Amino acid sequence: MRSDAVKKGFQRSPHRSLFRAMGFDDWELERPLIGIVNSFNETIPGHIHLNKIADAVKRGVYAAGGMPVEFNTIGVCDGIAMGHKGMKYSLPSRELIADSIEIMVEAYQFDGLVFIASCDKIIPGMLIAAMRMNLPSIFVSGGPMLPGNLAQNKKVDLSTVFEAVGKYAKKEISDDELLELECQACPGEGSCSGMFTANTMSNLSEALGISLPFNGSAPAVFADRIRIAKKSGLKIVELVEKNIRARDIMTRKAFENAIALDMALGGSTNTTLHLPAIAYYGEVDLELKDFAPFTEKVPHLTTISPAGPHHILDLYRAGGVPAVLAELAKKKLIHLDTMTVNGKTLGDTLKEYRAGIKDPSVIRPIDQPVHEKGGLAVLTGNLAPDGCIVKQAAVDPSMLHHKGPARVFNSEEEAVEALLKGKIKKGDVIVIRYEGPKGGPGMREMLAPTSTVAGLGLDKEVALITDGRFSGATRGASIGHISPEAAAGGLIGLIEEGDMIEIDIPNRQINLLVDETEIARRKEKFQPLSPKITTGYLVRYAQHVTSANKGGVFEKR
């Protein structure tokens, strides 16, 4: 076993002495050493209960003949970090999480790994670590939060509260109404209840094969969540015995399955950052442009918040990811021969779980989709030669093609201030730049401006483009990840107030309507803005990170 390096032979007597200090016995040191990578903390509702999940995993590991050893990583709640300096640290935490796991795995020479997380950057950070280390690995989510309820059984979630801020600014709701919503929208533990980034990544982990079925949709408070955790503990020991490793599972075909599922679910645009990043660190070639064919051929099958009235609880009850994958399989839109942590191929796993739709109002049959094309769309054009992304499933049909004057802002705060002061008019194209991986630095998730646009009732009248990124809770004509970013010399840095911009989502185009001579003149004079942060981790991060089209990864693996 790999762990023999820290516990076998007379030279490891000092090492065993330290294990004995923690209560280990001889027969336990004979077992495979399984690292339980837990991101439990008291700062994220999606992670507040992960100690219980870890206990269930450890019971499974122990029952299967393994020796579980738990350690922790950091985690950022994007909702709490939103709208202030803290959000600059969210995406960069992904690489730190992966680095910290690598350190622990090499220091202790674990034989296998179980990763436990629920939220936005922690999940991809852990999967990056799994790809880097290439050991037998399995991911366990803490599960989604239940939706909140207002009077008359109206379902609400975190995005409802963000949008209510705009309504409050317009005096459309009272102090009491805002407070009631604030108190009801997030009823307890779990990742926020819509198809936002956290739940998108948890559900896609099933298509990647690195999680057991229903890992992404079984609610945090349901007993099924504990059963999935215990079974994952059993399975990791089996994976160690069979020497099935992370890169045996997360192959190019598996990533294609995840992208296809993403389109069918109408998932968060942040997946176009995280899937390429996970692939990159496992030496699988995947970029934003590779999503484009799937947006054309895979239909959108669900209407889950923010793209519709349903929540992850409804997806779970309707058959979860297995049901969606079974529908995609009918049209041969996924690869059924990929390996999974279940120890079987994806096709055999779907048969074992008798995958099928239980509620066609939540998961549409493949021949009756919500939209004929996928939930996301990749646009190119002179403004984004390396691509950009929009959640087309959450765009009003009237905004699929829009032309308007640019309203230019060099930060999220400037744009929100202009919105709240009524300076944005019908037809405008809000441009927020210097919010990319380098320019932010850190590529903040900007739910505040998009939810303010929606709350002000402008989501059917105004477009927003940025080299930054959006929350999975974003809706409206919000185009993010424009690459190259302004700080890297991208054309978005040359836009001037009043320039006409054309967004054509059906034809996958985004263009600055300024002639080439004028663009060339501006390029000659262009100097990117000075960095906004000049000390600490983000300085080092900005020096090494790529633009969003490659996943905001470090240029050297």
Binding-site residues for Mg(2+), in ranges, read: 78, 120-121, 445
Can you tell me the distance from the alpha carbon of 130 to that of 341, in angstroms, rounded to the nearest whole number? 13
> 50-63 and 223-242 are packed helices; what angle lies between their axes, rounded to 10 degrees?
40
Can you tell me the distance from the alpha carbon of 221 to that of 215, in angstroms, rounded to the nearest whole number? 13
Which residues pair with residue 117 across a beta bridge? 141
Residue recorded with tokens 């320039």:
499
Q: Which residues are annotated as a binding site?
A: 78, 120-121, 445
Can you tell me the distance from the alpha carbon of 31 to that of 409, in angstroms, rounded to the nearest whole number? 58
Can you tell me the distance from the alpha carbon of 549 to that of 287, in angstroms, rounded to the nearest whole number? 6
Q: Look up residue 530 and give its two tokens.
A: 């000075």
Q: Look up residue 162 and give its two tokens.
A: 């963000």
Chain-centroid distance, C-alpha 532: 25
DSSP type of residue 398: G
> 271-281 and 252-265 are packed helices; what angle lies between their axes, rounded to 10 degrees?
170
Please identify which of the residues 471, 478, 483, 547 carries the catalytic annotation.
471
**CA-wise closest residue to 148 among 159, 140, 139, 134:** 159
Residue recorded with tokens 């507040």:
48
The CA–CA distances, whole Å, from 139 to 55, 115, 231 equal 15, 5, 12
Can you tell me the distance from the alpha carbon of 496 to that of 254, in angstroms, rounded to the nearest whole number? 43
Can you tell me the distance from the alpha carbon of 282 to that of 292, in angstroms, rounded to the nearest whole number? 22
**Catalytic site residue 3?**
no
Residue recorded with tokens 């390396």:
386
Which residues have a catalytic role annotated? 471
